[in-house]
Amino acid sequence: MSMDDHEPDAVDAITAQWRRERPDLELEAMAVFGRLGRLMGIATARIETVFTAHGLQRGEFDVLAALRRSGAPYELNPSVLADTLMLSRAGMTGRIDRLEAAGLVRRIADREDRRAVRVALTDQGRALVDTVVVAHTENETAMLSVLSPTDRVALERISRTLLDGWAR
């Protein structure tokens, strides 16, 4: 289906109303951001469904995933975790508390500074994150399957360009 063959959607209706009322406005960006917002709402719900099916909230998965991808021995300082996930120290403490109560992480003494603590994946936490990350990546791949391989590459490039431009 080409861009000219698309079915009108709610964003088209909104921009048509604006075009009628304010023909002087440039509406291309409004249409793009309207669709991006709707896409993120749908994507977020679909992504969270995978996590909840495994008894996790997204933020809890994020902690487990950060620990898992840190490599053996799968442990990090809570401050490093918080920085990695762009989370406050208090928010991180709450997530760690929930994950520890579920037996997915444990707090251990830092080998170099006995006053400090590190957060480590338990065997149960590692098994769970390894299972969930497979379901998560399959889900995200399925969501993008409506695009051709060329369009997926273009979308990745465009989204990277936007992020690079906005981060300056």
DSSP code string of the chain? --GGGPPP-HHHHHHHHHHHH-TTS--HHHHHHHHHHHHHHHHHHHHHHHHHHTT--HHHHHHHHHHHHT-TT-EE-HHHHHHHTT--HHHHHHHHHHHHHTTSEEEEE-SS-TTSEEEEE-HHHHHHHHHHHHHHHHHHHHHHTTS-HHHHHHHHHHHHHHHHHHT-
Question: Model confidence over 70-106: pLDDT tens digits?
Answer: 999 999 999 999 999 998 988 899 999 999 999 999 9
Helix (H) or strand (E) holding 92: helix 89-101
**pLDDT, position 111:** 79
Residue 48 is predicted with a pLDDT of 97
DSSP state of 85: T
pLDDT less than 50: residues of the chain = 1-2
**Which candidate, 163, 143, 115, 136, places its Cα nearest to that of 69?**
136
pLDDT at 42 (0 to 100): 97
**Residue 3, pLDDT score:** 52
Which pTM does this prediction carry? Answer: 0.85
The residues near 44 (Cβ < 8 Å, ≥ 6 apart) are none
